[in-house]
């Protein structure tokens, strides 16, 4: 009651109207704070994905062409997997460790949790499917140098399955992309990858031709991986830009609305105060 008495006795009409406006604006300010925090969290999430995609480019080069894997400082929780690559002996062991490192970086950089369908399927191709095809081709080529027919059949089936899954992920990324850029970036490479996979499978009927076909398939996988990783980075950067623009637009709209509401409240309070003063003067004259 004392608070109400203070308001009625001490505050003028304009101050009371201002107090009402502040009380109404408080929940709006809270909601805007929650909205801004949510958008910034999404931006930080995607920024880590972008950094992960950039680091994967170095990892892929080191995995397929040899060389030292750059140190990411544990940002992607990759140190143990990176150490395994450094300690690997032989090309097969290094390739296997490199594929594991790619998966670890994908997990540690939020890529495997990507929320958009086009970028999710693109990262799936980059971090899982295409490395699996590359490794399966290497394993099959090694098996062909031996005489174990069961191992050759097993590795051939593994390669066929891995290639089909990679093509499915790339096709889904193209289909679920709204702006059409992913199709122009990946469609030709996806078809070329399918043709190289079919050629590698057909070459098994002539074992002498198979190693060259498998090497060509690996080269095609490498080209598709580079294109897919580049498109993944573009998609992630586009998302960050979209989120930032939406945030600025919404903040601008709220700011304009608040300024308009404040100006309207001021104009109404001043007009009412003027009329009340005029009424008081008229009553005093009477």
Does residue 13 register a pLDDT over 70? Answer: no
Q: What is the pLDDT of residues 131-153, one digit of tens each?
A: 999 999 999 999 998 888 899 99
Per-residue pLDDT at 285 = 84
Does residue 71 register a pLDDT over 60? Answer: yes
Instruction: Using pLDDT thresholds of 50, 70 and 90, give the confidence band for residue 19.
Output: low
In whole angstroms, give the CA distance from residue 130 to residue 137: 11
Number of other residues whose CB lies within 10 A of the CB of residue 72: 20
Q: Highest mean pLDDT: which of 9-23, 212-226, 264-278?
A: 212-226
Percentage of the residues of the chain whose pLDDT score is greater than 90: 60
Measured on CA atoms in the order 187, 220, 122, 244, is the torsion positive or negative?
Answer: negative
Mean pLDDT of the chain: 88
Q: What is the pLDDT of residues 153-212, one digit of tens each?
A: 999 999 999 999 999 999 999 999 988 999 999 999 999 999 999 999 999 988 889 999
What is the phi/psi pair of residue 90, to 5°?
95, 155
The domain locations on the chain are 2-33+247-285, 55-239
CB 169 within 8 A of CB 129: yes
In whole angstroms, give the CA distance from residue 50 to residue 192: 27
CB 76 within 8 A of CB 104: yes
In whole angstroms, give the CA distance from residue 44 to residue 35: 14
What is the phi/psi pair of residue 91, to 5°?
-65, -40
- Both structure tokens of 80: 């143990």
Per-residue pLDDT at 73 = 86
Which position has the token pair 């070459």? 203
Per-residue pLDDT at 4 = 62
Per-residue pLDDT at 279 = 80
Q: Higher pLDDT residue, 134 or 70?
A: 134
In terms of Cα–Cα distance, which of 229, 147, 145 is closest to 185? Answer: 229
Q: What is the pLDDT of residues 35-47, one digit of tens each?
A: 889 999 999 999 9
Per-residue pLDDT at 258 = 76
Lowest mean pLDDT among 48-57, 62-71, 104-113, 196-205: 62-71
Instruction: Using pLDDT thresholds of 50, 70 and 90, give the confidence band for residue 17.
Output: low
Per-residue pLDDT at 90 = 86
pTM, entire model: 0.84
Instruction: Using pLDDT thresholds of 50, 70 and 90, give the confidence band for residue 15.
Output: low
Q: What is the pLDDT of residues 81-102, one digit of tens each?
A: 999 988 888 888 999 999 999 9
Does residue 273 register a pLDDT over 90? Answer: no
Q: What is the pLDDT of residues 234-247, one digit of tens each?
A: 999 999 999 999 98
CB burial string 211-223: b at 16+ within 10 A, e below: bebbeebbebbbe
Does residue 8 register a pLDDT over 80? Answer: no
In whole angstroms, give the CA distance from residue 187 to residue 282: 82
């Amino acid at each position: 009651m004392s608070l109400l008495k203070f308001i009625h006795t001490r505050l003028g009409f304009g101050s009371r109207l201002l107090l009402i406006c502040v009380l109404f604006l408080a929940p709006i300010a809270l909601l805007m704070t929650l909205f801004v925090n949510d958008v910034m969290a999404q931006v930080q999430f995607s920024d880590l994905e972008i950094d992960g995609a950039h680091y994967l480019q170095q990892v892929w080069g080191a995995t397929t062409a040899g060389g030292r894997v750059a140190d990411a400082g544990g940002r992607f929780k990759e140190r143990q997997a990176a150490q395994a690559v450094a300690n690997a002996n032989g090309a097969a062991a290094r390739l296997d460790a490199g594929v594991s490192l790619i998966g670890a970086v994908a997990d540690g950089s939020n890529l495997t949790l990507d929320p958009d369908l086009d970028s999710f399927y693109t990262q799936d191709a980059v971090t899982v499917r295409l490395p699996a095809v590359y490794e399966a081709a290497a394993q099959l080529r090694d098996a062909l140098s031996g005489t174990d027919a069961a191992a050759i059949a097993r590795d051939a089936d593994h390669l066929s399955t891995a290639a089909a899954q990679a093509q499915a992920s790339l096709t889904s990324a193209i289909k679920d992309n709204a702006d059409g850029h992913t199709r122009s970036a990946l469609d030709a490479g996806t078809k070329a990858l399918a043709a190289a996979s079919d050629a590698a499978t057909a070459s098994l009927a002539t074992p002498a031709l198979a190693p060259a076909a498998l090497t060509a398939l690996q080269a095609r996988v490498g080209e598709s991986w580079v294109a897919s990783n580049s498109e993944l980075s573009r998609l992630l950067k586009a998302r960050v830009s979209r989120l930032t623009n939406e945030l600025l637009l919404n903040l601008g709209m709220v700011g304009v609305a608040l300024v308009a509401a404040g100006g309207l409240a001021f104009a109404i309070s001043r007009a009412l105060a003027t009329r009340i003063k005029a009424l008081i003067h008229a009553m005093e004259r009477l």
